[in-house]
């Protein structure tokens, strides 16, 4: 993901920052999606 992604190749520190920042937004989004899937399955089971 990072190979073509910057003005010059990101250092190891930047890779950590990229991972951290995506987790920062990914974890809450994952929680929201999990809750959504739980609710959406009611269409087939409710």
Any contact of residue 4 with another protein (CB under 8 A)? yes
Q: Whole-angstrom Cα distance, residue 16 to residue 2?
A: 11
In terms of C-beta density within 10 A (0-12 exposed, 13-18 middle, 19 or more buried), how is residue 10 classed? middle
Report in angstroms how near the CB of residue 12 gets to another protein at its nearest: 11
Report in angstroms how near the CB of residue 17 gets to another protein at its nearest: 6
Report in angstroms how near the CB of residue 42 gets to another protein at its nearest: 3
Q: Whole-angstrom Cα distance, residue 31 to residue 34?
A: 5
List residues binding another protein (CB under 8 A).
1-2, 4-11, 14, 17-18, 21-22, 24-25, 28-29, 31-33, 35-37, 39-46
């Amino acid at each position: 993901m990072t190979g073509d992604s910057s003005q010059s190749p990101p250092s190891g520190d930047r890779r950590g920052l990229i991972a951290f920042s995506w987790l920062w937004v990914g974890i809450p989004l994952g929680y929201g999606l999990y809750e959504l899937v739980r609710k959406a399955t009611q269409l087939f089971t409710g």
